[in-house]
Structure 1
Amino acid sequence: MTAQSNQPPAGAEYLKAPGRSIAEDDSRTAELVAEVIARVRAEGDAAVRDYSIRFDKADLDSFEVTAAQREAALDALDPQTRADTEFAIANVRRFAEAQLGSLTEIEVEVLPGVHLGHRNIPLERVGCYVPGGRYPLLSAPIMTIVPAKVAGVGEVIACLPPNAHEAMVAGCHLAGADRIFRIGGAQAIAAMALGTETVPRVDKIVGPGNAFVNEAKRQVFGPVGIDQLAGPSEIFILADETGDAEMIATDLLAQAEHDVRTRVGLITTHRPLAEAVLAEVERQLGDLSTAETAGAAWRDFGEIALVSDEAAMIAYSDIIAAEHLQVHTLDPKAMAKKLSHYGSLFIGELSSVVYSDKCSGTNHTLPTMAAGRYTGGLWVGSYLKTVTHQWLTPEGVAAVAPPAARQAATERLEGHRRAAQLRLDRMQG
């Protein structure tokens, strides 16, 4: 993880520096989340209900959304919104199916009689956290639930805040959630990780959320799997003299309106473009309806860095490892092949992050805070476990037993040596 700095990288110049670091003290968050998890472990549904009243001002008779309530949410969905949601679901499903098709199970004979292999086994039960957010983010359930269903997960549980828009319930239903619960925040993560009287324990929890959700995922990890620890959203754009200032500014602000802590930036080799983008961002903020959020993100975490050449642009980009990385250069496909660290790549100025955010098919649940240096985003493989197996013939035992026994003896592990030798002795006896 790299901390954002107010100093530009070596050889670069800030035309717009970030106002402050994205890092913040979260000790109080960690303490509160630990309390929530402990109470849910001890009290189950009673603790969940108490925290729902306390944090979400919601006292529900039942946490689970009934079949009738699902249908009501679906009926209330605007027809065009439903059609657009189904369009997005279809694209995400097609891409997930293609990804699944690329995964093969293997079995190879590495030595005569020594057969090794692996299988891709779907998880039994997955919990998908669906954030409420400032607006009804209709794409959120699609990105977590659809790939799980394509992977063959036995049961997909969705949790969303009690005050989430009814359209989000419809989205969970259309995406294929087997059960939907109106539980939000850290208590939802705790309920899915530990299980309660009404919420089943899951094997893995996926999906983004606020700082409390993120911290809860961190604390429950181990007995239950998680997809990743998500920080505030990020977008960086790499551009040369061919960049379009209006388009770049528009894409930066589109991401900035997610949250006041969104990190947005331009890395360019062309000073006139940098200056034009700086002016264009300020101009667009003047009539952007979400300027209160986007403007705060731009002020505090926005940056424009001027670098000397393409190599410096690539080097700085790879240090940041941005969640979303757009390439606006003369030959964007050639540039794309030189980039190694990012969550998802958008090649050419026609490929906006917003398309992936909503409906084009790639997943928008992506690594942030430089985690793109070691992992990719959520995908169909996130819902599979690749497990190995082996089987040996007598010829295989004859090949591997002697070196295994000798190595065990060298390590002074007598039990290991005996286990290695026993089968060979019986074959030779």
Structure 2
Amino acid sequence: MATILKHAVPGAEVTASLDQVRETVAGVIADVRERGDAAVRAYSEKFDRWSPEAFRLSAGEIEKIVASVPRQVIDDIRFVQDQVRSFARHQLDSMGEFEVETLPGVRLGQKHIPVRAAGAYIPGGRYPLTASAHMTIVTAKVAGVPRVVACTPPIHGEIPAATVAAAHLAGADEIWLLGGVQAVAAMAVGTDTMEPVNLIAGPGNAYVAEAKRQLFGEIGIDLFAGPTEILVLADSAADPFVCAVDLLSQAEHGPDSPAVLITTSREIAEKTLAEVERLLPGMPTRDFAGPAWRDHGQVHVVDSLDELYALADAFAFEHVEVLTAEPREALRRMTQYGALFLGEGTCVSFGDKVIGTNHVLPTRGAARYTGGLWVGKYLKTVTYQEVTDTGSGALLGRLCGRASRVELFEGHARSGDVRAAKAAGDELPWNKA
């Protein structure tokens, strides 16, 4: 049985907050539908105090901005994008197209077609999150998407130069200095200045995640990527200092970011709590990390590794960091997570920033039914069929007629009858003059 040493805020408060988010987002989307660019500009002024002559950067502006970024930053961006690109290409290579002859003259096939246009939402507002450009744009381009639109907000009224550079180097075809729900809505429904896209990918705060949820169906989305989550699994061999540092590393994303520790050792739990309290006041990002830990931090002590992994699966968190003596055991024991980080040698921050796997991952329990963003999200897996053998055509036509009439679908049956008639001369009793 688990002992909870630290609780999160009550669920009712969270639900009330989400209801407010839904209402706000619905209003913004409706306004962008009705007023287009005027609404987009109004919300950008209201939320970001940003109203340039044009939100889309010109080629000259992009060149100037990229030139202002220090060489080391550019080199680091290129290195990380190479890692992301390499992993995405391996994913693409795992997705074979095929054609198979199932009966004489009956060919069935499968192929993968990239969407025509994708939107890449790159969060900002406070931090220049260059890594999200790598994850969304590079992956889309590996998939073969011909038009990728990147949207990122200004930071305190300034252009996030490193983010613009990352989007450009990743291969974005359009870069817009525009953020929040207004950016997601503009990409989805289109305006006079922005053509709509078919799919939007990228993480964001609760408002961005809700905008994607409400627009899903009209456009495709990668997944419901809301506030980031970290779950640290630790046994008695874990280092409490490492546990605390890594919990806070994700809490700094925002005041609504859950950070949870599950451990088999009460001593590790108590020492981790003490380390968090020691480290938090000195964090430059404590104004985000502090409320996140206060309101959404949890610490659970369990009796065994069996209980640890069962509880971890119940959380179905975005990031799961395994700090146990045998971390690879989690590959066998767990089934519900966005990404695993195995052992002290790696960390969630590696996945967020540099290692190459995608950091756009399922949150709020979505790991129960989906994985994270990958090259396949930008591809439509479609099938085709062809019948050229008359014997097979007659067989399938007669079978289709019988199967359809069992279901009382006479129109379907007649389509099958026609194929049997053309292939083998079968009569069509329902077609008598």
TM-score range with shorter-chain normalisation? Answer: over 0.9
CA RMSD in angstroms, aligned pairs only:
1.5
Which letter maps to 1:140?
S
* Structure 2 residue corresponding to 1:224, chosen from 199, 219, 227: 219
Which amino acid in structure 1 is aligned with residue 44 of structure 2? S
Q: Which residue among 261, 269, 289 is the counterpart of 2:264?
A: 269
The question of whether the paired residues in 1 share the 8 Å contact of 2:390 and 2:424 is answered with no
Measure the CA separation in 2 of the matches of 1:335 and 1:55: 42
Number of the residue aligned with 2:35: 43
Partner AA of 2:336 in structure 1: H
2:2 alignment partner, one of 9, 12, 15: 12
Residues 265-286 of structure 1 deviation map (CA, whole Å, 9 limit, x = unaligned): 1111112211211111112123
Q: How far apart are 1:30 and its partner, in Å?
A: 2.7
Q: Kindly indicate whether the alpha-carbon contact (under 8 Å) linking 2:394 and 2:424 is maintained by their aligned counterparts in 1.
A: no
Between the aligned partners of 1:30 and 1:278, the Cα distance in structure 2 is: 34
**Which of 161, 171, 174 is matched with 1:179 structurally?**
174
Larger mean Cα displacement after TM superposition, 30-39 or 316-325: 30-39
Give 1:148 shift.
0.4
Please give the TM-score of this superposition, normalised by the length of structure 2: 0.93
Which residue is 1:344 aligned to?
339
1:88, 1:372 → 2: CA distance?
Answer: 25
Per-residue deviation, residues 26-62 of structure 1 (Å, max 9, x unmatched): 3343333333222322332222222222322222211
2:428 is matched with which residue?
A: none
Q: Structure 2: how far apart are the matches of 1:29 and 1:368?
A: 16
Which residue matches 2:243? 248
1:115 counterpart SS class: strand
Q: C-alpha distance in 1, partners of 2:292/2:31?
A: 35
Judge conservation of contact 1:324–1:344 (CA < 8 Å) in 2.
yes
Stretches of structure 2 that go unaligned for 5 or more consecutive residues are 426-433
Deviation string for 1:67-89 (max 9, x for gaps)? 11111111111221111111111
Taking the aligned partners of 2:406 and 2:10, their CA distance within structure 1 comes to 56
Q: 1:384 is aligned with what amino acid?
A: L
Given the alignment, which residue of 77, 83, 89 partners 2:75?
83
Q: Matches of 1:345 and 1:46 in 2, distance apart?
A: 43
Distance in 1 of aligned mates of 2:291 and 2:35: 40
| Cα distance in 2 for residues equivalent to 1:191 and 1:169 | 19
| Aligned residues between the structures | 419
Quote how far apart the aligned CAs of 1:365 are.
Answer: 0.6
Q: Give distance in 2, aligned partners of 1:160 and 1:40.
A: 18
Aligned partner of 1:279 in structure 2 is: 274
Q: Is the 8 A contact 1:20 1:301 kept in 2?
A: no
What is the deviation of 1:18? 1.9
> Aligned-pair distance for 1:406?
0.9
* 1:343-392 C-alpha deviation (Å, 9 max, x unpaired): 00001111111111111100111001111111111111111110011111
Counterpart in 2 of 1:399? 395
SS in 2 for 1:168: helix
Structure 1 position 104 matched with structure 2 position 96: yes
In structure 1, the residue matched to 2:301 is 306
In the alignment, is the contact (CA less than 8 A) between 2:208 and 2:226 conserved in 1? no
Q: Compute the TM-score of the two structures, normalised by the length of structure 1.
A: 0.94
Alignment correspondent of 2:21: 29
Higher deviation after alignment, 24-33 or 45-54: 24-33
Code of the aligned partner of 1:72: K
C-alpha spacing 1:275/1:182, structure 2 compared with 1 (3 Å)? same
Alignment map for 1:119-268 (pairs within 5 Å) = 119-162=111-154, 163=157, 164-268=159-263
* 1:409 and 2:394 aligned: no
**Rounded Cα–Cα distance in structure 2 between residues aligned with 1:146 and 1:293:** 29
Task: Please name the residue that 2:429 is paired with.
Answer: none
Aligned-pair distance for 1:226? 0.8
Amino acid at match of 2:47: F
Contact 1:327 / 1:336 at 8 angstroms: preserved in 2? no
The 8 Å contact of residues 327 and 348 in structure 1, kept in 2 or not, is answered as: yes
Distance 1:188 1:286, change over 3 A: closer
How far off is 1:122 after superposition? 0.9
The residue correspondences of 1:352-367 to structure 2 (distance < 5 A) are 352-367=347-362
Residues 26/280 of structure 1: CA separation in 2 closer, same or farther (3 Å cut): closer
